[in-house]
Amino acid sequence: FLYSVDNMKSVRVVILPGNGCANVRDANWYGWLSDELEVHYKGKPFSVVLRNMPDPFVARESNWLPFIRKELLGDNEKNIVVGHSSGAEAGMRLCEGTAIEGLVLVSACHTDLGMPSEAKAGYYNRPWEWESIKNNTNFRVQLGSTNDCFIPFHEMEHVRDNLSPIEFHQFEKSHFMFGEFPELLEIVKDKIDACLSS
């Protein structure tokens, strides 16, 4: 591809972690993905943002969404949000009222799974505005495991069906809690490349 900074908006990837991650760079694949993208797109109109979140253990919507909007999203940029677990729910609620380029959901659910600790986050206390999420995103991608140790697969199917059309990738990798995630890297790179070439 030929890139011209003058003629295009830059692309920003925002990685939203799951709850329970006080140091996000050392948690799961978040730091690895950030580093891989930074190296691959060095010199291109691109940035990646991975920050420790406020209220990391409960991950309250009332704390996370203002922080994402004010501190993480880029102004006048093509923002791609990659959210894992609670970060996926934060991404979905974000897109009910904020337009971004694309949303990549990893281990997404739509209920609190009957867990009071999850209910405290606030994401699940009202209906999801699926049509608003679709209207505020140019693309949507979802990755889910049939053998997720926390989230039943039917939860992910519900998200998939309500955000259709959506690019859906099915795995048997539990809750995606490991240090490197090359399949996700390739998916995100495909979306970045499409943005940079458009």
Catalytic residues: 85, 148, 175
Rounded Cα gap, residues 121 and 102, in angstroms = 23
Alpha helices in the chain (DSSP H): 30-40, 61-67, 86-97, 116-119, 130-135, 153-162, 182-197
Three-state DSSP class for residue 11: strand
**Tokens linked to 19:** 């709850």
- Angle CA 142–183–90, to nearest 5: 35
Rounded Cα gap, residues 62 and 78, in angstroms = 24
Rounded Cα gap, residues 198 and 195, in angstroms = 5
In sequence order, the 6+-apart residues with CB closer than 8 A to the CB of 142 are 104, 105, 106, 108, 156, 159, 160, 163, 166, 167, 168, 169
Backbone φ, ψ for residue 108 (5° rounding) = -85, 150
